[in-house]
Amino acid sequence: MRIALFGDIHANLEALEAVLKDAAEQGCTDYVCMGDIVGYNADPSACLEKVRESNWPVVKGNHDEDASGEHSLDSMNPVAAAALEWTRDQLTLEQRDWLRTIRMVRQVEDFTVVHSTLDQPQSWNYVTNKFDAMSNFSYQFTNLCFHGHTHVPRIFVRDSRVTEVEADSIVIELGMKYFINTGSVGQPRDGDWRACYVIYDLPTSTVTFRRVEYDLATTQEKIRAAGLPDVLAERLAEGR
């Protein structure tokens, strides 16, 4: 069994389709979504419907929550807030209801999935270093947990202490815990513009990061045609 794990799609349909095509070519038969299906980019409805109709296990991201609600977005950064206001208008009430029902944490096979962290999933904390990762591990009861939220692929490992491992691929060993950020499909922020996701190969217990090129120009055109802030189109090319 080979499982594709991907999140932070952020309404980037071209990137999502490229990832799904690559995953199928890589022999993946199962798919798990790390949340933040919508927000920032111009195809929220199409991305939502793709995830929903596929019936993949999915966890809720902060943009899914914000798009589903009516609450004020004033405390958010203005660009993200503008995109979310626009996203709310694009989605039907029924689609927003569906976003609201998504669970915060799920267990799939032998691993756990959460958008931000297991210690306080509702707080949407960002894990950017091993110290941030420590509190998550106290609440992680499976060897392996996948998450997203920062849009930066990372591997944290807890043995007798917590370390960050830089690798494109890692073998999961018993007795250790792994907290792996699958990066972002639709708005990578690690300086590489290509869509990012991981493949978990269960027979070999191996997790491998994949980077996939997609039709960036079309995504940028759609963002501009929708009247979304231009910076959202520009940042995609820079992977930030």
CB of 202 to Zn ion, least distance (A): 27
User: Which run of H or of E encompasses 130?
Assistant: helix 130-137
- Nearest to 80, CA basis, from 60, 69, 93, 66: 66
Side-chain-facing half-sphere of 43: CA atoms under 13 Å: 20
201 touching Zn ion, by CB under 5 A: no
Q: Rounded CA gap, 136 and 235, in Å?
A: 30
- CB under 5 A: which stretch of 5-13, 91-99, 137-145, 225-233 binds Zn ion? 5-13
Exposure string for 101-120, b = 16+ CB within 10 A, e = fewer: ebebbbebeebbbbbbbbee
Per the CB < 8 A criterion, the answer to whether 85 and 73 are in contact is yes
Task: Compute how many residues bind Zn ion; rule: CB under 5 A.
Answer: 2
- CB under 5 A: which stretch of 28-36, 45-53, 169-177, 220-228 binds Zn ion? 28-36
CB of 160 to Zn ion, least distance (A): 32
- Hey, which residues between 29 and 48 contact Zn ion (CB under 5 A)? 36
Q: Which is nearer to Zn ion, 95 or 181 (CB)?
A: 181
Q: Which is nearer to Zn ion, 76 or 202 (CB)?
A: 76
CB of 147 to Zn ion, least distance (A): 11
Q: Rounded CA gap, 238 and 98, in Å?
A: 32
* Candidate residues 8, 17, 22, 64; the one interacting with Zn ion per rule CB under 5 A: 8
CB of 189 to Zn ion, least distance (A): 9
Footprint on this chain of Zn ion (rule: CB under 5 A):
8, 36
